[in-house]
Amino acid sequence: DTGVSQNPRHKITKRGQNVTFRCDPISEHNRLYWYRQTLGQGPEFLTYFQNEAQLEKSRLLSDRFSAERPKGSFSTLEIQRTEQGDSAMYLCASSFASGIYNEQFFGPGTRLTVL
Amino acid sequence: AQSVAQPEDQVNVAEGNPLTVKCTYSVSGNPYLFWYVQYPNRGLQFLLKYITGDNLVKGSYGFEAEFNKSQTSFHLKKPSALVSDSALYFCAVRDGGGGSYIPTFGRGTSLIVHP
């Protein structure tokens, strides 16, 4: 399977703990995006990378959230001091950078539950 | 600013009947429009996009969408619905006038196809 993969698929944690998610994009894609999706809502943009550079961050991305893509391949999203409001599905997507209207390919998501 | 509205939370249709899932948008420049489908516990899958050209766009699984500039709409259609089409459908838009590459997603419409 050469699609976007995310690990873990599910994460249950206690409030105040730190969690880290990983995304492996399609290998030919140099753009990588993170979204958050809650029940009854569409994906909400968090941040995106072109290669290893983080080019845009949403105001939703509080100081407790940090994302990296150190070698321009996989990416990690870390949430520090988790809160119950962080419970959501975290989606990763990737796309080509050439052309400005390329569709995004999504991974299966990581479902986070904060108790 | 860009925004998307999906006015129906749920659409019910009998198998074999035509289906329409509605989407309206607002952008400052030229709209780039996308439809995605999400099955339970899965990521979003790309169905089709409109960038320019013919107003009727054909996509995966027999779906098509019609771009209507005067009504700022991009409704998703299929001539004959299948039970397996039951899923969550998201419309997305981004402003082709430059700036951010990030699309804005609608809240989603749950399509239920009855046998």
Please check the confidence at residue A83 and state whether its pLDDT lies above 90. yes
Over chain B, what is the mean pLDDT? 93
Residue type for B106, please?
G
Q: What are the two backbone dihedrals, phi and then psi, of residue B86, each rounded to the nearest 5 degrees?
A: -60, 120
Cross-chain Cβ contact B107/A40 below 8 Å: yes
Mean pLDDT of B16-23: 98
| Structural element, H or E, at residue A46 | strand A44-50
The DSSP-derived string for B32-87 is EEEEEEE-TTS-EEEEEEE-SS-SEEE-GGG-EEEEETTTTEEEEEESS--GGG-E
Mean pLDDT of B46-67: 93
Cross-chain Cβ contact B101/A105 below 8 Å: no
Task: Answer whether the bond into residue B31 is a cis peptide, omega within 30°.
Answer: no
pLDDT of the residue at A14: 97
Q: Could you give the 3-state DSSP secondary structure of residue A85?
A: helix
Using a CB-CB cut-off of 8 Å, the residues of chain A touching B51 are 101
Q: Quick one: closest CA in A to B91, which residue?
A: A42
Q: Residue B43's CB: how many other CB atoms inside 10 A? A: 24
Chain A contact for B35 (CB, 8 A cutoff): no
Residues 61-90 of B with CB under 8 A from A: 90
pLDDT of the residue at A98: 65
Alpha-carbon distance of A19 to B66, in angstroms, equals 42
pLDDT of the residue at A63: 92
Locate A15 and state its tokens: 């409030």
Nearest to B108 among A42, A104, A105 (CB): A42
Angle at A65 (CA atoms; ends A9, B46), nearest 5 degrees:
50
User: Nearest CA to CA, how far is A20 from chain B (Å)?
Assistant: 19
pLDDT of the residue at B28: 87
In the numeric block, the tokens 């001091």 are attached to A81
Residues 27-66 of A with CB under 8 A from B: 31, 33, 40-45, 48, 56
Alpha-carbon distance of A52 to A70, in angstroms, equals 6
Strands B3-5 and B19-21: unpaired
pLDDT of the residue at A100: 56
Q: What is the pLDDT of residues A63-82, one digit of tens each?
A: 999 999 998 899 999 999 99
The strand pairing partners of B112, in sequence order, are: B12
Mean pLDDT of B53-70: 94
Over chain A, what is the mean pLDDT? 92
pLDDT of the residue at A62: 87
pLDDT of the residue at B25: 96
Cross-chain Cβ contact A91/B32 below 8 Å: no
pLDDT above 70: percentage of residues in chain A: 96
Q: What is the pLDDT of residues B64-113, one digit of tens each?
A: 999 999 999 999 999 999 999 999 999 999 887 766 678 899 999 999 99
Q: What is the pLDDT of residues A45-59, one digit of tens each?
A: 999 999 999 998 998
Chain B contact for A84 (CB, 8 A cutoff): no
Mean pLDDT of A27-46: 92
User: Nearest CA to CA, how far is B37 from chain A (Å)?
Assistant: 11
pLDDT of the residue at A114: 97
Nearest to A107 among B43, B100, B104 (CB): B43
Do the beta carbons of residue B4 and residue B25 sit within 8 Å? Answer: yes
Please check the confidence at residue B22 and state whether its pLDDT lies above 60. yes
Please check the confidence at residue A101 and state whether its pLDDT lies above 60. yes
User: Nearest CA to CA, how far is A82 from chain B (Å)?
Assistant: 23
